[in-house]
Structure 1
């Protein structure tokens, strides 16, 4: 999505940056995992297809994608590919209702799971969706076996609305009422929004990503 192509969102543990071609090799490596394919209901793609997908997602008006970096490594000047933990996405799935977004989050690196990273990332993404995209309802679809993710979203006040036994997934939703919006704003008051390209320029040249 063009709106976030130069946006960096910095939280306590995670930094969200636009998905660029420099991130594709690591992402492609993740998606060879049968576990991640199963949890994300994804099919493996070739490296060339991943690059095409990256380009498409940056241009499509109905997809907003960020790569999730570990802030500690990123602050230390490590290359972004070395800091990658996962990704987070918003999909505008209903052309007739641009205020509805399907939310997806993947913490691909096992060592970062169960540490609250996913919760922080989801809250940052919801705050961004509300303030920049006018989202009024968030929806998630999760495989029934992924109880950890289901529990995380329920703790974030998502409510179960349906179960599809055919696809073995549960759908949960969160309506952005005023009290919910205030709650999300409070949880993300620490988040700093910066210009991604300017942030890359300020980092040491040997640690930056080639954005050409």
Structure 2
């Protein structure tokens, strides 16, 4: 009777753990696709800010007596409009980065839950297909270890974006270019994500 209960508990634990793993992989896939879109949008925002910064500096450097096409008031209105539009772009960039941080926070919580469940399974049995892997999916340690690495690089990426966004000075286009160089997803993050999801095809198919 005891053996039957233990076996039933293991089977239930194994099922729950696999569902949790499939859910984590599915969410990682969803958020990684969104991250790629956000990255492309951030790059466009940075390029636009560079242009506005150059326009701003050029207009501000013209002495009032050298204005030909504008009066001083008109020049000041244009400057104000450039700064207003740039502010809107910076707010949008901040929202996109904040979303990346929210995604990371949610994935990290999912990861911790999955890791805790996997630890219980490892303590309970050593024979589960989740622990040894099979023809359809790798051992759960693979998913845990590689997810940990992906989440760490993701954290560094979003942190760098936030730091450089906060350093933007509209009167210094080099500060914007520094942000622009950070907007592409780091190659090692992109490669690790692609590899991770490649070996998660079966799990994604279950979603």
TM-score normalized by the length of structure 1? 0.23
Kindly name which structure, 1 or 2, has the bigger radius of gyration based on alpha carbons.
Answer: 2
Q: Which has the higher contact order (CA 8 A, sep 6+)?
A: 2
- Which protein has the bigger strand share? 1
- Which protein has the bigger helix share? 2
TM-score normalized by the length of structure 2? 0.23
